[in-house]
Structure formats: structure tokens, C-alpha cells
Amino acid sequence: MTKTRCDLRVLVRFDDGTIGGYAVDGITGASRLRDELAAAGQAFSDPDVGVDLEREEDVPPCYRDLFTSMQSAMTEETR
């Protein structure tokens, strides 16, 4: 990853109908990417995270569409 930068978007949909997001721009190294993924995991595993989440019907449709298309792609890969 030394020659590239990446932006990280972590969207999490919970079974209670809420969605949360975590975003970081301009990550320049694999170590930082791992750190940010770990931070997202910690943030979404916090018992108080629910107050920061939005109802699925209140988020832009593109968020819901992203879950649908990514799930479909992953399902196709496992066949």
C-alpha cells in the first residue's frame, strides 16, 4: 500500500433496523488501515453506540442499496 491511498467506509446494519457509519479519508498505509478497522470495530461494539445510529428507513436509499448489492456479490462468490 505504499504507492496508494485509500478511503475507508464502514457501514454496519444491525438486526434491530439501525445503520451506522464510520469514515476515514486519505489512509496512506496498511498499518493505519488496520488501526482504523479496529477502531470501527470498537466503536460499533460499544453498548452505547445505539444512540448514534439511524433507523434504516431514515438513511439515504443508497445505503440500503449498498447492503443489497454487496450481499448479492458476496453470496455469488460463495457459490
Residue 40 is assigned to a structural domain of this protein: yes
How many structural domains does the chain have?
1
How confident is the prediction for the chain on average, in pLDDT? 89
Q: Confidence band (pLDDT; 50, 70, 90) for 2?
A: low
28 is a domain residue: yes
CA distances 18 to 3, 34, 59, Å, are 36, 25, 9
The answer to whether position 46 is within a domain reads yes
0.75 exceeded by pTM: yes
Q: Is residue 10 part of a domain?
A: yes
What integer is the mean pLDDT of 19-41?
95
What pLDDT is stored for residue 73 in this prediction?
75
69 inside domain: yes
pLDDT surpasses 80 at 12: yes
| DSSP per residue, 20-59 | EEEEEEEE-SHHHHHHHHHHHHHHHHSTTGGGG-EEGGGS
Q: Which domain holds residue 50?
A: 6-77
Q: Is 66 helix (H, G, I), strand (E, B) or coil?
A: helix
The answer to whether residue 1 sits within a structural domain is no
* 33 inside domain: yes
* Whether residue 33 has pLDDT greater than 90: yes
